[in-house]
A and B are shown apart, each in its own frame.
Chain A
Amino acid sequence: MLGALLYLRLTSFRNGLLSRLRRLRQPKYLIGAIVGFAYLWFFFFRPMGAVGAPRHSPGEALALAEAATGTAVLLPADWVPLSTAIGALALLVFFTLMWVIPTERAALGFTEAEIAFLFPAPITRRGLVHFQLLSTQFRSLAGATIMMLFSHRWTFLGGNALTHALGWWFVFSALNLHLNGARFTLTRLADGGLGLWPRRVAVLALVGAVIAVTVWRMPAGAPPQAPGADPDLRPITDWLLALSNTAPLTWLLWPFRFVVGPFLAPDALGFFLALGPALAVLGLHYYWVVRAVSAFEDSSVDAAQKRAARIAAWRSGQSVRSPGDAKPQRPPFALAGTGRPELAFLWKNLLSTWPWFTGRVFLGCAAVIVAAGLWLGSQPLPRGVLPGIGAMAVMFAAYTLIVGPQFARQDIRSDLANADILKTYPLAGWQIVLGELLAPTAILTGILWLALLAAGITFQPTSERMAWLTPGLRVALTAALALLAPALAALQLLVPNAAALVFPGWFQASRTRGGGPEMIGQRMIFFFAQLLTMLFALLPAAALGAALVFIFQWLVGAVVAVCLTAVAVLAILVAEVWCGIWLLGQQFERLEISAENRA
């Protein structure tokens, strides 16, 4: 059985690798691979000292810095108690959730192909569990390697790349084993009559009681302190250390400390000393899982089907919801049989998104933002945080505008699989493109308006240098941005939709399952192409806007100048959006998915 598993995994890995190498003959993958490797090299491998750089871990580099400058620097070993406490507490939270969240029977993560071949095969249930546990080790190793690339840059860590990768593997393996053990045990308890909520209450009460007793028994004089104006986290870290070292919580945390031990080991000796306890914890977990095995076949088949549906939906361009988990929704508005056909696409695409993207929820959020902003402004103490909230709202709006189109995909990207049917509709291409863009534009506009509302209410100048930002001008700026928001959102959405229609081969490739440098590279190319296109598209509007504001403010004052400029800029943006829709419509009419698939 082990031989079959190894054969399957190694052969699949080898064939996958060869297939990826072969497809590098296609420019779209080759360019993606070059960009992806360059990114990985400059951001991950080069800082690790691959070539030319001194081979020191960040911790060693700190020690060298201390020696060179004579300044006191905390060494990795100094951080171990605190990082161990935080890591153990984090694991306690994860493990507790594993006993609280599950609502379904235990399922093992088999693929549909594995189920088709292995479930009818002469393999015992325990054999299948072994198969799955060993399979997850391959994924844990891959995950550990990726995490190592990130964690190697953490300056509080000692050790080296190898100990970090192995440390992550211990953490992932423990999480995986515990998840399986907990789910098997929960299934048995459920079969024995334990209900969902009694179980949740019991687990939370147990953990809560342990923490409550621990807090009660903690040494006096160590309550947590909120950081003041000059952030000093020392009181909080001291309190966390005291909490984790006080019984009974400290007993509960010991297995978790063992698990994070290899990862946090400051040096090679520490790592080897930590190996034994960590292996013991994994061994006990393994024994527990194998002993706790209960019927998992039905739920595994169900889970495999749902996973396959999710993957298929994602690969066809839908990323938000799994069709298998969907429930019928109430239409966003009544759709009459006659009228603008573009609205039918808005109606359809709103039905395909989360049910809370409705006008009622939007108005509710707006009311909450206004009420909260006014209340905060009227209170002397929290008033100080208002500028910070305003700045965050502006940043959120910018983030929504730039990254939002990658999430709001209820447009052509989701319907590319249905292109054959859309093309039989008695509509011009631009009508289909316009209709498809309406829903994500409406969603992004709604979010942008809420962010602008929050910014407009809370953002106040804090220094004399900002005195020119009068209340009237703030209102005018907020209104101007709100006016431009739909056009900006539509412009942003045009870019990925254009990519899907003009380069359907690239678009399909970027939805290919799995990662790898070529996929990272392709996504980066798409992202930067979108940014560049957006900047290029905004250039005429920005230039005209700057010129008009400069001229108008001398003639009619800043507030009116902003309003007039917004109207002129909107005209340019609408013209650009309209041109884009028309061009994409032409492209949609020429699109031949079947030809793309042949290529």
Chain B
Amino acid sequence: MIEAESLCKRYGSFTAVRDLSLVVRPGEVLGLVGPNGAGKTSTLRCLAGIIPATSGTLRIAGHDLAADPVAAKRKLAFFPDEPRLFDYLTVRQHLNFVARIYGVADHEARAQPLLEEFEIADKADRLPGELSRGMKQKLAIACGLLHAPQVMFFDEPLTGLDPLGIRRMKNSILQRARDGATIVLSSHLLHLLEEVCSHVLILKKGEKIADGTLAEVAARFSAGETGVSLEEIFIRATGGSEN
């Protein structure tokens, strides 16, 4: 479970996230949407413990992220939009390294199914420099999943994936949610959110405009119309501009 209460993030005099509260329960997939500069990435980074919140309380699987960050981080995985890999570690060595960091004793048994699921088993002894952008993305995801996290944060998870990879990624997210994982993902691809997310949270200029299930948010901005797409809801909610 993810709990954020009055989350605020400031960079100097600039406020990126303002008084944001949210709760995401196991099995739920929350889609974080908003115009450019709305504070989606700052929110994700605060929730993942990458950057400290300026104020507010964050709890990951029951652990306070500020008071007990190590315990909280054991339960989470963060997947950045751009895969950050180590240039001189092969695919398999990446998994070996991550296993030691998280203390995964049976990592070899866990790694092979992941490599096969993401179709990079035949690239296990290759360096990142020899992989395509999509394969690097798959490797980053496999590394994140190795310790079976209960909480997952995806920042633009479909960037760089081919159509088949996109389908597999969507299925993988849904499967993990069905298995009880708590997932937050940020994306500009609204059709992805419609297909994958159970909940949505719309941010604008660092503030929450709306949140709830897709049906609840749709009802709020549809003005009685039926069949309004999430894209239309998004444009109505944000006023159609970044500002």
Chain A residues proximal to chain B, CB less than 8 Å: 309, 313, 318, 321, 323-324, 326-329, 331, 335-339, 341, 343-344, 347-348, 351-352, 417-418, 420-421, 423-428, 589-590, 592, 594-595, 598-599
Contacts and interface: CB of A to CB of B under 8 A. Distances in A.
- Most chain B C-beta atoms within 10 Å of own C-beta, residue among A309, A352, A424: A424
B89 interface: yes
Contact of A418 (B45, B76, B84, B104): B84
B51 interface: yes
A337 B107 contact: yes
Interface in B95-135: 96-97, 99-108, 125-129
B48 interface: yes
Given A328-B127, A344-B97, A323 B87 contact: yes
Nearest to A419: B50
Interface string B23-50: 0000000000000000000100100111
A343 B127 CA distance: 21
Nearest to A598: B11
Interface of B: 11-12, 14, 42, 45, 48-52, 69-74, 76-78, 80, 84, 86-90, 93, 96-97, 99-108, 125-129
B240 to A, nearest CB: 27
B73 A426 contact: yes
B100 A326 contact: no
Contacts of B72: 426
A341 B101 contact: yes
Nearest to A318: B87
B129 A324 contact: yes
A420 B84 CA distance: 9
Contacts of B107: 337
Contacts of B78: 420-421, 424
B100 A426 contact: no
Given A326-B127, A352-B86, A428 B100 contact: no
A337 B103 contact: yes
Given A309-B129, A590-B52, A425 B100 contact: no
Given A335-B96, A337-B105, A351 B70 contact: no
Contacts of B11: 592, 594-595, 598
Contacts of A352: 86-89
Contact of A417 (B84, B88, B90, B102): B84
A335 B86 CA distance: 16
Given A321-B88, A323-B87, A424-B48, 19 more contacts: A326-B87, A326-B127, A328-B127, A331-B96, A336-B105, A337-B96, A337-B105, A337-B107, A351-B93, A352-B86, A420-B50, A421-B78, A423-B50, A424-B49, A424-B73, A424-B76, A426-B72, A426-B101, A595-B51
A435 B104 CA distance: 18
B30 to A, nearest CB: 18
A337 B49 CA distance: 24
Given A338-B105, A427-B101, A594-B51, A348 B86 contact: yes
Contacts of A336: 100, 105
A428 B70 contact: yes
9 contacts: A323-B127, A328-B93, A337-B100, A423-B51, A424-B49, A426-B101, A426-B102, A589-B69, A598-B12
A347 B88 contact: no
Contact of B106 (A337, A348, A351): A337
B87 A339 contact: no
A352 B127 CA distance: 11
A396 B54 CA distance: 49
A426 B80 contact: no
A335 B99 CA distance: 9
Contacts of A595: 11-12, 51
Contacts of A592: 11, 51-52
Given A351-B89, A423-B50, A424-B50, A337 B99 contact: yes
Contacts of B88: 321, 323, 326, 329, 351-352
B74 A348 contact: no
Contact of A420 (B42, B45, B86): B45
A423 B100 contact: no
Nearest to A324: B129
A426 B97 contact: no
A240 to B, nearest CB: 45
Contacts of A331: 93, 96
A347 B108 CA distance: 17
Nearest to B14: A598
